[in-house]
């Protein structure tokens, strides 16, 4: 059985709840630690699917691993290997497929309402869900590649997710766990403290009723991930 390759770009932004979901469904996965210099694969067909997590860098930064990842994403889409992106991962997908990644008008950090688009693709991916509270941590945003369907938006970011066939790119984070939120609040405390954006919350607000909020977010993630794994090429 082929594995799902999960690409980690910084130590604190691992697979989180996504790994829990895969384990629950007995889907094997392996972690490619880009942050530790693991080699970037060149043949997507060796995997059941490709998943790209978040990171504090920009896809427009001159980092040596970005061009091969962009090429890998293009090859995966061309060969019908499903791709999934979270935040930076979604931005990598957008750039690889012809979209642009630019500064968002407002930095989004913390919890915020996300609204589903009124189209068949959004209804299919979200299983009819029209609104939910998502988690955010980004200062940039993506445009949609040609032929992609718009899935979600928030008050401060027009493009929160898109889909192209079996491929799903998200700006928001649905993979969060309590420990990830705690770590991010500590690691990037200066970013929070110096931000003037109305869409940035304090660590105290982000961690209020966190388990209740995450239980609800897990259910949203279940809907999205359940549809994504239908496209996996496991054998």
Q: Where are the domains of the chain?
A: 4-176+183-229
**Can you give the pTM of this predicted structure?**
0.98
What local confidence, expressed as pLDDT, does residue 139 receive? 98
Question: Residue 158: in which H helix or E strand, if any?
Answer: strand 157-164
What local confidence, expressed as pLDDT, does residue 235 receive? 87
Average pLDDT (184-210) is 97
Closest CA to 89 of 168, 198, 33: 168
What local confidence, expressed as pLDDT, does residue 112 receive? 98
Q: Which two tokens stand for residue 7?
A: 């690409």
> How close are the terminal C-alpha atoms of the chain, in Å?
5
What local confidence, expressed as pLDDT, does residue 116 receive? 98
Average pLDDT (66-76) is 98
What local confidence, expressed as pLDDT, does residue 201 receive? 98
pLDDT digits (tens, 9 = 90+) for 154-170: 999 999 999 999 999 99
What local confidence, expressed as pLDDT, does residue 145 receive? 97
Average pLDDT (46-74) is 98
Non-local CB neighbours of 187 within 8 Å, separated by 6+ positions: 12
Closest CA to 157 of 175, 177, 174, 135: 135
What local confidence, expressed as pLDDT, does residue 130 receive? 98
Kindly tell me if the per-residue pLDDT of 126 is higher than 90.
yes
Which listed CATH number (1.10.3720.10, 3.40.50.880, 1.20.120.1200, 3.40.50.720) goes with 4-176+183-229? 3.40.50.880
Cα–Cα distance for residue pair 9/159, rounded to 1 Å: 22
Kindly tell me if the per-residue pLDDT of 214 is higher than 90.
yes
Average pLDDT (42-60) is 98
Give the chain's mean pLDDT: 98
């Amino acid at each position: 059985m082929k594995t799902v390759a999960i690409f980690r770009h910084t130590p604190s932004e691992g697979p989180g709840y996504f790994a829990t979901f895969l384990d629950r469904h007995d889907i094997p996965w392996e972690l490619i630690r880009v942050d530790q210099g693991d080699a970037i694969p060149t043949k997507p067909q060796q995997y059941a699917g490709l998943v790209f997590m978040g990171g504090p860098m920009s896809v427009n930064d001159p980092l040596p691993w970005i061009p091969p990842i962009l090429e890998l994403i293009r090859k995966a889409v061309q060969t019908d290997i499903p791709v999934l992106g979270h935040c930076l991962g979604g931005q990598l997908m957008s750039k690889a497929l012809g979209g642009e990644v630019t500064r968002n008008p407002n930095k989004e950090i913390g919890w915020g309402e996300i609204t589903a688009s009124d189209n068949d693709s959004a209804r299919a991916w979200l299983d009819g869900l029209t609104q939910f509270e998502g988690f955010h941590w980004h200062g940039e945003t993506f445009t949609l590649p040609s032929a992609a369907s718009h899935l979600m938006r928030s008050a401060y970011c027009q493009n929160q997710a898109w889909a192209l066939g079996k491929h799903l790119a998200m700006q928001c984070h649905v993979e969060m766990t309590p420990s990830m939120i705690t770590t991010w609040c500590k690691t990037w405390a200066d970013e929070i403290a110096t931000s003037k954006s109305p869409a940035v919350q304090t660590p105290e607000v982000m961690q209020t009723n966190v388990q209740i909020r995450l239980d609800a977010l897990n259910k949203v993630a279940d809907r999205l991930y359940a549809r994504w794994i239908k496209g996996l090429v496991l054998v």
